[in-house]
Structure 1
Amino acid sequence: MKVDYCLTGQLDDRELVVAVEAHGFDGAWMPELTHDPFPILAIAATRTTTIELGTAITVAFARNPMTMAVLGNDLQTYSSGRFLLGIGSQVKQHITRRFSMPWSAPADRMREYLQAVRAIWRCWETGERLQFSGEFYSHTLMTPYFNPGPNPFGNPALILASVGPRMTRVAGELADGLFVHAFTTERYVREVTLPALREGRVAADKDDSLSGFEVCGSPMIVTGADDEQMANAEAAIRSQIAFYASTPTYRPLLQLHGWADIGEELTAMSKNGQWAKMGQLVNDDMLDAFAIVAKPADVASRIHQRFGDVFTRTSFLAPYGLPDHFWAPITAELQTL
């Protein structure tokens, strides 16, 4: 299993990624938060040599397919073939109110979006005429002046983030990999995510065994070197679970486990600004289902036990301030399992 590092989304990540590579991580993922991830990763690509670099995620619907195709192609070149283009849909409010872009039928729109990006790359690679016309996007002009030609390192891998089964089927059909949301459980992965992923693969006449397909996980981890650190980690992860569970979009996952009423209560609390108290509603069963709770020596084996036959690469969601060197032995062990 490859082990990746989740960067902070800040400008300093262009330096941090050098240390991350030295610590032995296989990949580094840059979120799109307060800064555009592409220029930061472009700088990071010039300061590293082996680590894979990717966006996790960049917002697809904030950009048109041509813009995304150019960015992905350029980062693949800057990194000498080490770039992973991780994209996601975001939610309606951000697309329409923050980016002032259209929103409709997100799974159908994403299917066409990926088709359009691949059509543009194919045009550059083979010289065939660009002739993509769909319901949401149309790209029918590519003159030599704007054609970069074939990328010497090939196209970057397209990794699609999803939660629900419809978007997951799109990932299986058209992407090279899937981001499994951190807010998930082993049961949901096995009963909902994997079947939908295989349906998408079959629809595209691909191998439903997922051979060669990246499945990227980011499980929440509760760990620490002593009781105080464990308690701090547990409190942080309970709050993280509560934050995700308050989002109505994720309600089907809670319904699968019989926790829909807790989700509704958390939604109400979030609307009333009761963020500090929300973690108290996350009971021990929820904590154990959504997070790996283990001493440091047992974290790697617990991740492997739960997801070892599913994830091809993983990172750690641990928002409670442990130093990077804390994860080095866990990373090394996971890489051998």
Structure 2
Amino acid sequence: MKVYTTAPLEDPRRARTIYKELEDIGYDGGFSFEAKHDPFLSLAVAAEHTSTLRLGTAIAVAFARNPMNLANLGHDMQSISGGRFVLGLGSQVKPHIEKRFSSVWSHPAERMAEIVRAIKAIWDCWEGRAPLRFEGRFYHHTIMIPAFDPGPNPYGPPPIFTGGFGPRMTAVAGETADGFIAHPFNTRRSLLENTLPALQDGLLRSGRTRRDIEVMCATLVVTADTEEAFAASRLAARKQLAFYGSTPAYVPTLACHGWNEVHTELNRLSKQGRWDDMTAVIDDAILDEIAVVGERHEIPGKLRARLDGIADSVSITHNRCPDPRHWADVVQAMKQG
């Protein structure tokens, strides 16, 4: 199993060093995510300071951009990184697309599928495989002249991963993408009962098989060296899960375990602005099902048990309480088998 992580970059200047640290530890890949900073710029810097680490966005907000500029970004990042780039895309939610990015939100699953197809059509044009004639419901790309054609990528086009949670967006990955990024608000049971069947539906529609796509599971890890740090990690994880659980979109994971009332209570408290009170709703049973919790030496085995038969790669995450050593011992144990 490949081992990835997202880099906790509160300060983008750390891109010069943090990705190199991840490479030296033994990670297969280091990813950025779109929050306070642009997800592509740090990776361009990281590419100059690493040589083997896979670099990707997990995720960049697709609906804030269009297929042509995403195609340019993906093409150039693949060249700069020497063929180590992954273009990871996600949708974001409607209020942020409309009110933060001032972009269009509609038919998210269909729009995401069309973005992926359009990007690949643009790359096919640049690779000399076909003229550019993509005419979809949302996007139209029918002109390309030599002045704007970068030509074939020396490393070939990068893979496109899409992130998702619900069945329709998950199926989009199976139908159109090269990889799928599973959300951390999942349990082994929800991945088996909700995620994999939806992914398989998309694969069947495209005439592909499970071997044709990489499944990467972002997994919340709670561990530490001291009792005090362990308690802080657990508390931060419970706060994060309470936030997710208050959102209607994430009910299916809770429903798998008969925890529908947990969402009802979290949603009620969130509307009252009682964010601290929400944390207590996430008890140890819920935390242990969604996160991988344990002493450091237990984490590799627990990760394998969680994802065996489901994932090709794991992305170790806990951005609200990042591990100071980037889980170096966990990564080494995972890589040793």
TM-score by length of 1: 0.96
Which residue in 2 is equivalent to 1:2?
Answer: 2
Match of 2:165 among 159, 163, 166: 163
Which structure 1 segments of 5+ residues have no match? none
After TM superposition, the structure 1 stretch with the greater mean CA deviation from structure 2, 312-321 or 256-265, is: 312-321
Matched residue, 1:223:
223
Read off the aligned partner of 2:107 and give its amino acid letter: A
Alpha carbon RMSD of aligned pairs, Å? 1.4
Find the partner of 2:203 among 201, 204, 214.
201
After superposition, where does 1:184-333 map in structure 2 within 5 Å? 184-207=186-209, 210-318=210-318, 319-324=320-325, 327-333=327-333
Asked whether the equivalents of residues 7 and 13 of structure 1 are also in contact (C-alpha less than 8 Å), the reply is no
CA distance in 1, matches of 2:232, 2:200: 38
- TM-fit CA distance, 1:87: 0.5
1:92-114 per-residue CA deviation (whole Å, 9 max, x = no partner) reads: 00111111111111001111111
Of 32, 49, 52, 1:50 maps to 52
Instruction: Give the CA deviation at 1:13.
Output: 3.5
Looking at structure 1, the residues matched to 303 and 21 of structure 2 have their Cα atoms a distance apart, in angstroms, of 24
Q: Distance in 2 between matches of 1:265 and 1:310?
A: 31
Aligned partner letter, 1:245:
G
CA distance in 2, matches of 1:184, 1:243: 14
- Report if the CA contact (8 A) 2:223-2:230 is conserved: yes
SS at match of 1:206: coil
Q: 1:12 and 2:13 equivalent?
A: yes
Q: State, as a whole percentage, how many aligned pairs show the same letter.
A: 43
State the distance in 1 between where 2:259 and 2:289 align: 12
Asked if the contact 1:162–1:168 (Cα under 8 Å) also holds between the matched residues in 2, the reply is yes
**1:93 counterpart (95, 108, 111):** 95
Task: Point out the more displaced range, 1-10 or 74-83.
Answer: 1-10
Q: 2:41 and 2:233 mapped to 1: Cα distance?
A: 33
Partner of 1:109: 111
**Structure 2, unaligned runs of 5 or more:** none
Residues 8-36 of structure 1 show CA distances to partners (whole Å, capped at 9, x for unaligned) of: 24412422112221121111100111221
Which of 113, 137, 140 is the equivalent residue of 1:138? 140
Counterpart CA distance in 1 for 2:96 and 2:294 is 36
Distance 2:203 2:336 in 1: 28
Measured in 2, the distance between the counterparts of 1:27 and 1:163 equals 22
Q: More deviation in 87-96 or 3-12?
A: 3-12
Instruction: Please state whether the residue corresponding to 1:41 is helix, strand or coil.
Output: helix
Q: Is the 8 A contact 1:6 1:28 kept in 2?
A: yes
Which of 52, 61, 66 matches 1:59?
Answer: 61
* Amino acid corresponding to residue 281 of structure 1 in structure 2: V
Other structure's SS at 1:87 match: strand
SS in 1 for 2:280: helix
Distance 1:321 1:131, change over 3 A: closer
Cα gap change, 1:146/1:238 in structure 2, threshold over 3 Å: closer, same or farther?
A: same
SS of equivalent residue, structure 1 residue 221: strand
For residues 133 and 97 of structure 1, the distance between their equivalents in structure 2, rounded to whole angstroms, comes to 28
8 Å contact kept, 2:180–2:214: yes
TM-score normalised per structure 2: 0.96
Deviation at 1:302, TM superposition (A): 0.6
* Pair 1:75 & 2:94 matched: no
